[in-house]
Structure 1
């Protein structure tokens, strides 16, 4: 039995016409000899009748502190609705289809309501349905605890469901269908000549996703990477081949020169962040001071990013919407943080960065020539980050895309 996992996002299921296109993709897989397992997200986006955010706004208007357990029960409803509608669509076309919730599909999680992690997958029920010739539709974004409590998997949870099932079922591939035709070298709304990447490595797409690319959740990539299950990012609405995510480097064939000449795969960005700088040069027991700062952020449930711990200062970023809370906490600890509001993190990502001299120099040159001020920088073996004023973000992305010739 050749199993393929197909995941469809909420926009792909929002109208009857779009659901017909989804059904056509499923039917095509069946006709090619595959046994499809179809993972669905909730229909539509915020404001649409059956979107997850619509359900949340409904109850939060009544009571803002509903426990996470009850919120997870509510948030699991959207996928049940979209799954039932898709089964109806497939059945109308003559396909045998069954719907399973995450729990029925064997997805067992820990007890962290709202952001649960998958502990294991027990695929026996799915395999039994596939053996009977059924297309199995699974509600994404959810599972159950060992005691049977419904949980949700957090942002990008349906991608995570698809990858976990792909690994557990030893699928031939995991196809993530979206409203774009693949992974692009940059946001096409910012870079007019951004192009679709034919192939990227797991590490590259993981870093692009962590740095702001929205096409797939990095947790899903990490799961697929464990068993080298190929991921394919495709559009529901076209026949474009999309982007293949694999361990094999792009453009490298058997017997060719081992030199890998694509240094940069793409550019990602995260907007609407605030830089905080706390001077600590005069502090005694500086290591304890640093520990206090980050412990206070963690206790307040404030996510920090772009961390730079220096002998004389601590720098990090938080999202704009929680910056005031972070500043208040620091001031209550008798710190006087320097604040740079409305910043953006711009990142270049590529498996070819490691060990290649001059990449940072080229990045700095491109930004300097474009008149962009670098507020902070950091690097790893596959990524270089810079923090810039948000007013410079578009200029920075366009300058880097041109500098590294990503349109070729």
Structure 2
């Protein structure tokens, strides 16, 4: 049985006209001999009546501190409405279709409400429906605990649902449909000549996603990578081929040459604050460890970490500045805080052991008089902390320097 998982985002199911485009994608898959499994997100974006953010605002209008478990119960509704409507659209076109919640589709999670992790995915019910010639329409973003509690998988969770089902079903491919033609070398709102990537590796797209690119959830990529199932990011609104995400080093095609490029894309994160924590000899040998332990116990994620004798530097998101500052001062640390920062990153699987990559990165920013506040690098990415007011110029200069417009 040839199985294809097709995930459609909120803008792809938001209106009858767009759902007709989705119907055509599903019909085409069936004509090509596939047994499609459909995953849908909630309809529309914030402000639309059934969008996730709209439902959240309804719950929080009663009490801003409403418990995570109760938030999951209302967020569950968005995908259920979307899946029922999509299943009805298929039935109206003469296609046998069955709507399933995440739990009914076999997705079992832990009980970390609003950000649950998938523990197992039992494909039995979906396989039974496929053998009957039916098209399952599964609510993305959802799971269920062993105790029968509804859970959601966090932002981007519908991508994760699609990959989990794809892995469990041994699908030939997972298609992620959105409102863009594929993954781009940079944010087109900043870089006008940003290009669609034909092919990208699992590792590269994970880095892009972690560093701020809103292309696909990294958890979804990691799940697909475990079984080496290709993903394709493409548009509901066009017939463009999209961007293939795979282990391109193993692909025996002309696209294999793509690994020779040094950089794949440039991305960014905003609303970041830099913390400088000053240490002195009176604080003891555990002072560095205690700084990060304090952050961990406060559920504050840190990034861009540099540890030096007498000083630690790291970054956090702006929303945690007050909490982090209070906690560290209570521990007796002297801190400096620089707000209104952004992190810009160049990502590329080809930069490993290539001389001059860091020099080019620094030159691109320096020649445009962009202050570099901090840097960090790995085998597949280089990042710098810059003033948030310079983020657009930084992205443009790096995109040009690394030849991504060519």
Give the TM interval when normalised to the shorter protein. over 0.9
In structure 1, the residue matched to 2:12 is 12
Q: Give, in whole Å, the separation in 1 of the partners of 2:199 and 2:250.
A: 5
Contact 1:276–1:316 (8 Å) recurs in 2 = yes
Query: C-alpha offsets along residues 193-232 of structure 1, whole Å, 9 cap, x if unaligned?
Result: 0000000000000000000000100010000000000000
Contact 2:4–2:34 (8 Å) recurs in 1 = yes
What displacement does 1:314 show? 1.2
In structure 1, the residue matched to 2:314 is 316
Contact 1:281–1:311 (8 Å) recurs in 2 = no
What displacement does 1:292 show? 1.9
Going from structure 1 to structure 2, the CA distance change for 1:317 and 1:185 (only over 3 Å counts) comes to: same
What displacement does 1:252 show? 7.5
In structure 1, the residue matched to 2:327 is 329
Contact 1:199–1:249 (8 Å) recurs in 2 = no
In structure 2, the residue matched to 1:107 is 107
Secondary structure of 2:183's counterpart equals coil
Q: How many residues align?
A: 406
- Pick from 370, 387, 390: which aligns with 2:385? 387
Q: Give, in whole Å, the separation in 1 of the partners of 2:202 and 2:112.
A: 27
Going from structure 1 to structure 2, the CA distance change for 1:52 and 1:175 (only over 3 Å counts) comes to: same
In structure 2, the residue matched to 1:276 is 275
Q: How does 1:175-324 map to 2 (within 5 A)?
A: 175-249=175-249, 253=253, 260-286=259-285, 288-324=286-322
What displacement does 1:239 show? 0.4
Q: Give, in whole Å, the separation in 2 of the partners of 1:254 and 1:62.
A: 57
In structure 2, the residue matched to 1:42 is 42
Secondary structure of 1:43's counterpart equals coil
Going from structure 1 to structure 2, the CA distance change for 1:129 and 1:252 (only over 3 Å counts) comes to: closer
Query: C-alpha offsets along residues 137-182 of structure 1, whole Å, 9 cap, x if unaligned?
Result: 0000011111221111111110000000000000010000011110
Secondary structure of 1:45's counterpart equals coil
In structure 2, the residue matched to 1:92 is 92
Contact 1:39–1:138 (8 Å) recurs in 2 = yes
Q: Give, in whole Å, the separation in 2 of the partners of 1:274 and 1:250.
A: 40
In structure 2, the residue matched to 1:377 is 375
Contact 2:2–2:33 (8 Å) recurs in 1 = yes
Going from structure 1 to structure 2, the CA distance change for 1:167 and 1:283 (only over 3 Å counts) comes to: farther
Q: Give, in whole Å, the separation in 2 of the partners of 1:276 and 1:359.
A: 27
TM-score (norm 1): 0.96
Q: Give, in whole Å, the separation in 1 of the partners of 2:201 and 2:233.
A: 13
What displacement does 1:383 show? 0.7
Unmatched 5+ stretches in structure 2: none
Q: Give, in whole Å, the separation in 2 of the partners of 1:259 and 1:207.
A: 17
Contact 2:12–2:19 (8 Å) recurs in 1 = yes
In structure 1, the residue matched to 2:352 is 354
Contact 1:199–1:250 (8 Å) recurs in 2 = no
Query: C-alpha offsets along residues 299-358 of structure 1, whole Å, 9 cap, x if unaligned?
Result: 222222222222221111111222122212222222221111111100100111111111
What displacement does 1:60 show? 1.1
Contact 2:248–2:259 (8 Å) recurs in 1 = no
What displacement does 1:283 show? 4.5
What displacement does 1:56 show? 1.3
In structure 2, the residue matched to 1:30 is 30
Q: Give, in whole Å, the separation in 1 of the partners of 2:296 and 2:46.
A: 29
Contact 1:101–1:139 (8 Å) recurs in 2 = yes
What displacement does 1:397 show? 0.7
Q: Give, in whole Å, the separation in 2 of the partners of 1:389 and 1:209.
A: 21
Unmatched 5+ stretches in structure 1: none
